[in-house]
Chains A and B, each alone.
Chain A
Amino acid sequence: MIGTVHYLALSAVLFSIGAVGAVVRRNVIIIFMSIELMLNAANLAFVAGSNSLGSMNGQSIVFFVMTVAAAEAAVGLAVILALFRNRQTVAADEIALLKW
C-alpha cells in the first residue's frame, strides 16, 4: 500500500534532482527550470500532507506556490531575455561582471 511516506520520498528525490540541476548546470534557463522542479517537489509534499491530515490547508498553499512560480517565471524569463540581449550568453559562469 502506498502511503504518505512514499509521496514524501518521491518529493525528496525530485527536490534533490532539482537542487543538483541548479548547482551543476550553467545554462541559466536550465537552472531556472531546476528551481521550478524544486518548487514542484515542495508542492507534492504539501498535497500529500494535506491528504494525510485531512486538511485543505496544504492545497491552498500549493495554490499560492503556483501563483508565485508563475510570477517568477514571467519576471525571470524577462531578465534572461534582457541578459541575453546585453551579453549574448545565457551561461551563468560567463556573466562575471561583478566578480573579481
Chain B
Amino acid sequence: MSPLAFYPLAFVCIASAMGVVLSRNPVRSALSLVASLFCLAVFYVFLQAHLVAALQIIVYAGAVMVLFLFVITLLNLESDRGLGEKPVLSAIGFGAGAIVAGGLIAALSRTSLGARAVTLVPTFGTTKVLARQLFGDYLVAFELTSMLLLVAVVGAVVLAKRDGSYEGDEQEAAVPARSEEASH
C-alpha cells in the first residue's frame, strides 16, 4: 500500500475513532464508529484479506452498528454531558491513553518488522484457503462459536423481553428491537 493511500485513510480512521469518544450525541458517535470500521475494511483489502474485509462490513457495519443505532433511537438518547462534567478526570484519562499509545509505538519502533518475512502465495487470503482452515484446524472452535451465537440469541431475547407488567403501547415499541437482536 502506498503512503499516499495509507496516511489519508489512517487519518480518517483515527479522526472518526476520536469522534466516537468525543461526540456528545450518541448517534454521531455511532456513525463515526461506522466510518472508522469502514476504513478498517479498506485496510483489510490492502492486506490481502478480502473475505475478512467483506465480513467486516457485513457483520460490523451491516448488523452490529445498525443494532447500536436502533437501540440509541429506541431509548431516545439525546446529547449527554459528554466529557464536560469532570474535566480533571477526563484529562487524566486522556493522559493515560496517550501514555499507552506512546508506549506501544515506542515498543513497535524497536522491533524489526520492517519488511515482510515471506512472499505471499497467490492463494493467500482467498475464501477457499480460509474456509479450509476454519473447517479443518479450527473446526472445534468454529462449532463452539455457533453454540455461542445460539446462546447469545436466547440470552438477548430473554433479557430484552418485558415481564408483562407494563402498558400495551410500550410492549409494541419493543417488538422491532427484539427481532433485531435475534438477527445475530
Binding site for B on A (CB under 8 A): 1-10, 12-21, 23-27, 29-30, 32-34, 36-37, 40, 43-44, 47-48, 50-54, 56-57, 59-60, 62-64, 66-75, 77-82, 84-85, 90-91
Contacts and interface: CB of A to CB of B under 8 A. Distances in A.
A69 B130 contact: no
B134 interface: yes
Given A52-B113, A59-B51, A14 B130 contact: no
Nearest to A27: B80
A31 to B, nearest CB: 10
B175 interface: no
Contacts of B101: 12-13, 15-17
Interface in B67-125: 67-68, 71-72, 74-75, 77, 80-81, 83, 89-90, 93-94, 96-98, 100-101, 104-105, 108-109, 111, 113-121, 124-125
Interface in B1-36: 1-3, 6, 10, 13-14, 17-18, 20-21, 26, 29-30, 33, 36
Given A30-B29, A52-B117, A60-B138, 15 more contacts: A2-B2, A7-B43, A17-B14, A17-B18, A24-B89, A29-B26, A29-B72, A32-B68, A34-B21, A40-B60, A54-B120, A64-B138, A64-B145, A74-B184, A77-B156
A68 B148 contact: yes
Q: How large is the interface on B (under 10, 10 to 19, 20 to 34, 35 or more residues)?
A: 35 or more
A84 B145 CA distance: 29
B2 to A, nearest CB: 7
Is the contact region of chain A dominated by helix, strand, or loop, or is it mixed? helix
Interface in B135-169: 137-138, 141, 145, 148-149, 151-153, 155-160, 162
A97 B111 CA distance: 47
B50 to A, nearest CB: 10
A70 B64 contact: yes
Contacts of B124: 54, 56
6 contacts: A13-B105, A32-B68, A44-B44, A54-B120, A59-B130, A70-B149
Contact of B104 (A16, A62, A72): A16
Given A52-B116, A54-B120, A73-B184, A30 B49 contact: no
Nearest to B1: A2
